[in-house]
Amino acid sequence: MKLLNYTSLRHLLFASLLTLISIPVFYVLLNDIFVRSIDRDLKMQAAQIPTMVSIIQNQKDLELWKELDNDLEVLPLDSVQFHERPFTRQESLPNHKGDEDFRILQKKLQIMGQPYVVSIKASLFEKEDLIRTILTIQFGILILLLIGTVGINYFVHKRIWKPFYNSLDYLRQFNIESEISPLPAPLKIQEFTQLNQSIEQLSVRVRQTYFSQKEFIENASHELQTPLTVLKFKLELLLQTKDLTGEQGELVGDMYREIEQMQELNSNLLLLSKIENGQFISDEDIDVEASIAELIDNLSLLAEAKGQILLFIEQKYPHPKPLLLKRANPMLFKIMIANLLTNAIQYSSSGATIKIDLKEDSLIIANPGSPLNIPKSKLFTRFVRTGKKSKGQNKSGLHNGGNGLGLSIASRIASYHKNLSMTLDYLYNEENKEHNFIIHWLNVN
């Protein structure tokens, strides 16, 4: 939910709740005010009754007085229930449907030497109409106020929060490789000015750290590569000497292989760093089938040396056009597939069949072997191997050599292609006793 909608919704809920509560409260207050006003009028009329009673001399005068005032009721004390305070009573009227509420005030008087109760009444019908009219007007005003408040809140907040959304756009478009364009400042709102200043300072620090790290990695890689190359050259010269014994030659060969592995480790670490820093551009279309066929051709000699077969299963999708991955990086894609194929070749025993199954939205590379002896969650972690280092394979069919970066690099390359929602997963097929590495991507054809 957007911030503007979040605040507007709460204002709307508060205003609606306030309206629902205020109407019955307002009705009760208005009703009390009108009743009190009528009671005051009744008391004023009651104060004049003794004057009227003083001029009554006989029963005829009393009847005449009652006829002249329809709101007056005079009854003997013993025939009526007397109330000290004003009260409300419903009475039926001629030519009027239903009963009507009346407010009544009673007063005890001596008329012609006899105790009487004089009741003065006032209709509440007009009061109800007036209250209903006032409440209708109030409800209309509250609705207009509610609509106006929400509307004003929406437009005002939209304008107030505009600098915040500009800052969000700035962060979305931020590219660590590009120069930083300054955010607008100063702003009317101090907090937004401080936010923009903090974002700019953070951006500068991030770029400085990034370029320092990038320079360090490149320098370290270059400085390591030079002495390793020199060592390899000198070991090659040493292997060519005539006085070298068989045991010495074996030791020099081991050293030579270790140096090659160090060079590969150095290159892989540099590649991994570049991937994580986003230094590759993904803007080309990849013909997946052609790329895999090329890699199989390149790695076929390595597989044949172990008597293995690389079985490329034909595409299983209906489109006559080549399967293309849009806006991807061809070099990284080939490195990912090459790492997985190399692992499969190294992990599998001699004579094994390695299956490469290409589908419309996935690629499965399967090689035979026993279940993993490490947790699946650690399979794509750097420098994780499946057993103690040896010159061959362990009984699970997984390679023990290498530098432990191949699968980690493949996983990072898959994550790098976010626009394709690419993922790299692992699944062990118990039925076929196969390791399955599955690359998923969006169907782009």
3-class DSSP state of 371: coil
- At 383, the amino acid letter reads F
Please tell me the predicted confidence (pLDDT) of residue 355: 94
Residues 284 and 415 occupy one common structural domain: yes
- DSSP structural state of residue 350: T
In this prediction, residue 386 carries a pLDDT of 56
**Residue 117 half-sphere exposure, CB side, CA atoms within 13 Å?**
15
| CA 361 from centroid of its chain's CA atoms | 27
Of the candidates 282, 291, 278, 357, the residue with the CA atom closest to the CA atom of residue 324: 291
Q: Are residues 293 and 328 both part of a single domain? A: yes
Low-confidence residues of the chain: pLDDT under 70 = 4, 93-98, 184-186, 314-321, 384-403, 443-445
Together in a domain, 250 and 285: no
Domain boundary among 230, 259, 274: 274
Residue 136 in domain? yes
Domain that holds residue 255: 190-274
Q: Are residues 96 and 35 in the same domain?
A: yes
Residue 130 lies in a domain: yes
- What total number of domains does the chain contain? 3
| CATH classification at residue 416 | 3.30.565.10
Q: Contacts for 50-56 with beta carbons within 8 Å, 24 or more apart?
A: 50/109, 53/109, 53/110, 53/111, 53/118, 56/111, 56/112
Whether residues 105 and 150 fall in one domain: yes
144 and 239 in a common domain: no
**Are 77 and 142 in the same domain?**
yes
Residue 112 amino acid letter: M
Residue 75 and residue 218 in one domain? no
Query: What integer pLDDT is reported at residue 395 of this predicted model?
Result: 37
**What confidence tens digit (pLDDT) does each residue in 350-402 have?**
999 999 999 888 999 999 988 888 888 888 887 766 543 334 444 333 334 45
Of 110, 138, 157, the residue at which a domain comes to its end is 157
The two three-digit tokens of residue 199, written as one number: 């974002």
Q: Which pLDDT does position 98 carry in this prediction? A: 66
106 within 8 A of 73, measured Cβ to Cβ? no
Q: What are the structure tokens assigned to 264, written together? A: 């590969």
Asked if 122 and 38 touch (Cβ cutoff 8 Å), the reply is yes
pLDDT tens by residue, 82-139: 888 888 888 776 666 667 788 888 888 888 888 888 888 888 877 777 778 887 887 8
Please report whether residue 142 resides in a domain.
Answer: yes
Judge if 384 and 349 occupy the same domain. yes
Query: In this structure, is residue 354 part of a structural domain?
Result: yes
Q: Is residue 39 part of a domain?
A: yes
Question: How many angstroms separate the CA atoms of 264 and 225, rounded?
Answer: 10
Residue 181 lies in a domain: no
Same domain, 146 and 228: no
SS3 category, 286: strand
CA–CA distances in Å: residue 151 to residues 9, 155, 419:
12, 6, 38
Whether 292 maps to a domain, the answer reads yes
With beta carbons less than 8 A apart as the criterion, state whether 368 and 326 touch. Answer: no
Answer yes or no: are the C-beta atoms of 105 and 86 closer than 8 Å. Answer: yes
Per-residue pLDDT at 101: 81
**Are 254 and 300 members of one domain?**
no
Residue where one domain finishes, among candidates 259, 274, 289: 274
User: Does residue 430 share a domain with residue 289?
Assistant: yes
What's residue 400's pLDDT? 41
